[in-house]
Structure 1
Amino acid sequence: MRPTGRLHLGNYVGALENWVRLQDAGWTNYLMVADWHMLTTGFEDTSQLQDHILDMVLDWLAAGLDPARSVMFVQSAVKEHAELHLLLSMLVSKARLERIPTLKEQVRDLGLEEATISYGHLGYSVLQAADILLYRATHVPVGEDQVPHVELTRELARRFNFTYCQDRAPVFVEPDVLLTDFARLRGLDGNRMSKSVGNTILLAEEPEAIVARVKSAYTDPKKLRANDPGRPEPDPADGHPGCVVYEYHRKFNSAGAASVAERCRKGELACVPDKRELAQILTDALAPIRERRERWARDLDAVHDVIRDGNQRAREIATVTLEAARAAMGLSARAGTWA
Structure 2
Amino acid sequence: MKPRVLTGITTTGTPHLGNYVGAIRPTVRASRDARFDSFLFLADLHALVKCDEPERVRRSRLQIAASWLAAGLDPAKVTLYRQSDIPEIPELTWILGCVTAKGLMNRAHAYKAAVDRNSASGEDPDAGISMGLYSYPVLMAADILLFNAQFVPVGRDQIQHVEMARDIAQRFNRVFGSGDGPFVLPQAQVEEHVATLPGLDGRKMSKSYDNTIALFEGGAKKLHASIRRIVTDSRVPGEPKDAENSQLYAIYRAFAEPDDAAAFKDELEKGLGWGPAKERLYALVDGELAPMRERYDALVAHPEQVEEVLLAGARKAREIAVPFMEGLRRSVGLRL
Match of 2:263 in 1: 259
Q: CA deviation at 1:145?
A: 2.6
Structure 1, unaligned stretches of length 5 or more? 234-241, 335-339
SS of structure 2 residue aligned to 1:302: helix
2:289 & 2:115 partners in 1: Cα distance? 34
Amino acid at match of 1:285: E
Q: Distance in 2 between matches of 1:311 and 1:64?
A: 19
Paired amino acid for 2:262: A
2: distance between equivalents of 1:98 and 1:231? 46
Cα contact 1:14–1:142 (8 A) shared by 2:
no
Alignment CA distance shift 1:258-1:215 (3 Å): same
The question of 1:273 aligning with 2:285 is answered no
Shift of 1:299: 3.9
For the residue of structure 2 that corresponds to 1:73, the secondary structure is: strand
Moved more, 307-316 or 288-297: 288-297
Once the two structures are TM-superposed, the CA of residue 60 in structure 1 deviates from its matched residue by 1.7
Of 100, 109, 123 in structure 2, the residue corresponding to residue 101 of structure 1 is 109
The aligned amino acid for 2:49 is T
TM-score (norm 2): 0.84
Indicate which of 305, 309, 312 corresponds to 1:309.
312
Q: 2:333 is matched by which residue type in structure 1? A: L
**Contact residue 15 and residue 141 of structure 1 kept, 8 A:** no
- Percent identity over the alignment is 35
2:247 to 235, 239, 244: 244
Q: What secondary structure is seen at the aligned counterpart in 1 of 2:23?
A: helix
Root-mean-square deviation over aligned CA pairs: 2.7
Cα deviations by residue, 1:136-156 (Å, 9 ceiling, x for unpaired): 111112233322222222222
Letter aligned with residue 186 of structure 1: P
CA distance in 1, matches of 2:266, 2:229: 22
User: Could you tell me which residue of structure 2 aligns to residue 236 of structure 1?
Assistant: none
Q: Secondary structure, in 3 states, of the residue corresponding to 2:126?
A: helix
TM-score norm. by structure 1 comes to 0.84
Matched-pair contact (CA < 8 Å) for 2:152–2:188: yes
Residues 195 and 254 in structure 2, CA contact (< 8 A), matched pair in contact too? no
Question: Paired residue for 2:99?
Answer: 91
Distance 1:102 1:231 in 2: 37
User: Counterparts in 2 of 1:162-241, with a 5 A limit?
Assistant: 162-166=174-178, 170-180=181-191, 181-195=193-207, 197-205=209-217, 206-219=219-232, 221=233, 223-233=234-244
Give SS of 1:29's match. strand
Question: What SS class does the counterpart of residue 72 from structure 1 fall into?
Answer: strand
Matched pairs, number: 320
> 1:25 and 1:188, CA in 2 relative to 1: closer, same or farther beyond 3 A?
same
Q: In the superposition, relative to structure 1, how do residues 318 and 213 fare at CA in structure 2: closer, same or farther (>3 Å)? A: same
Distance, in Å, in 2 between the alignment partners of 1:105 and 1:192 is 20
Question: What's the offset of the Cα at 1:5?
Answer: 4.9
Q: Point out where structure 2 has 5 or more consecutive residues left out of the alignment.
A: 1-8
Do the aligned partners of 1:143 and 1:183 also contact (CA within 8 Å) in 2? no
Q: Secondary structure at the match of 1:115?
A: coil
User: What is the CA distance between 1:12 and its match in structure 2?
Assistant: 1.6
